[in-house]
Amino acid sequence: MNAIPPKSENEKPKSEPKITQTRAPILATRLGRGRLGGSTICDFLVQRARIAGRPVTVADGDLLNPTLAGLYPSGAPGEATRPKSAQPAHVGEWIEDLVHQMMQTRTSAVLDLGGGNSALADLEHDLPLMGFCEEAGVTCLPLYFCGPEKDDFDHIVALHEAGHFRGPRSILFLNESLMRAGQTAVEAFGPILR
């Protein structure tokens, strides 16, 4: 049996080698219908990252309901970036710029394209987002938001089946705050998850 010799009082502890971050930047993108808490969770993710000291870019592509741009207004520190317009070409250019900035600064981003799938479908026609991000070295993370209504889940399934934004990983948020009074999570979400 080998015993570890005691350290002398004058001996300084060896410093641990510094570990550098080599993980690819993550583009966390909100998907799903509106009114399901997506912008709220995107804001939460931004706040948690910033509290932990990790820089994160806020990207609000929802020009009809710009919640993130309202929370992170233009001119304020950490302001949200926005496209010039909702035209697919402008949105595509904006996302290309965002992804290039992510690679240059090694910074992740939270992207809110708004509810519905038309923005994503239009964008995919002009800029295949998953392939573009993969080539640029950015990891895509789809964030699917669902309430207890069957239509909410059907919308997510349609987005996934369309294949516009399928990453190696994704997160499904089931928003319990949208359940009817007295309902349990199993009662509310069980039927749509079977």
For 81-100, what is the mean pLDDT? 89
Looking at residue 3, what is its pLDDT?
Answer: 47
Query: What percent of the chain is modeled with pLDDT above 70?
Result: 81
**27 band by pLDDT with thresholds 50, 70 and 90:** very high
- Domain of 47 in residue numbering reads as 26-193
Q: Would you say residue 20 lies in a domain?
A: no
Q: Would you say residue 134 lies in a domain?
A: yes
Q: Would you say residue 65 lies in a domain?
A: yes
Per the CB < 8 A criterion, the answer to whether 71 and 180 are in contact is no
The CATH number of whichever domain residue 96 belongs to comes to 3.40.50.300
How far apart (Å, rounded) are the C-alpha atoms in residues 142 and 28? 6
Q: Would you say residue 174 lies in a domain?
A: yes
**22 band by pLDDT with thresholds 50, 70 and 90:** low
End-to-end distance of the chain based on CA atoms, in angstroms? 57
**pLDDT(13) > 50:** no
For 136-164, what is the mean pLDDT? 85
Q: Would you say residue 73 lies in a domain?
A: yes
**pLDDT(40) > 60:** yes
Q: Would you say residue 75 lies in a domain?
A: yes
Looking at residue 123, what is its pLDDT?
Answer: 66
Q: For the ranges 98-107, 145-154, 160-169, which has the lowest average pLDDT? A: 160-169
Mean pLDDT of the chain: 82
- E-assigned strand segments in 85-181: 108-112, 139-146, 171-174
For 108-128, what is the mean pLDDT? 73
**pLDDT(63) > 60:** yes
- pTM, full prediction: 0.80
Looking at residue 118, what is its pLDDT?
Answer: 62
Rounded to 10 degrees, what is the CA torsion of 46, 127, 135, 139?
A: 20
For 153-176, what is the mean pLDDT? 82
Q: Would you say residue 131 lies in a domain?
A: yes
**162 band by pLDDT with thresholds 50, 70 and 90:** confident
**pLDDT(169) > 90:** no
Looking at residue 68, what is its pLDDT?
Answer: 94
Domain count, the chain: 1
Q: 38 is written with which tokens?
A: 């997506």
Q: Would you say residue 143 lies in a domain?
A: yes
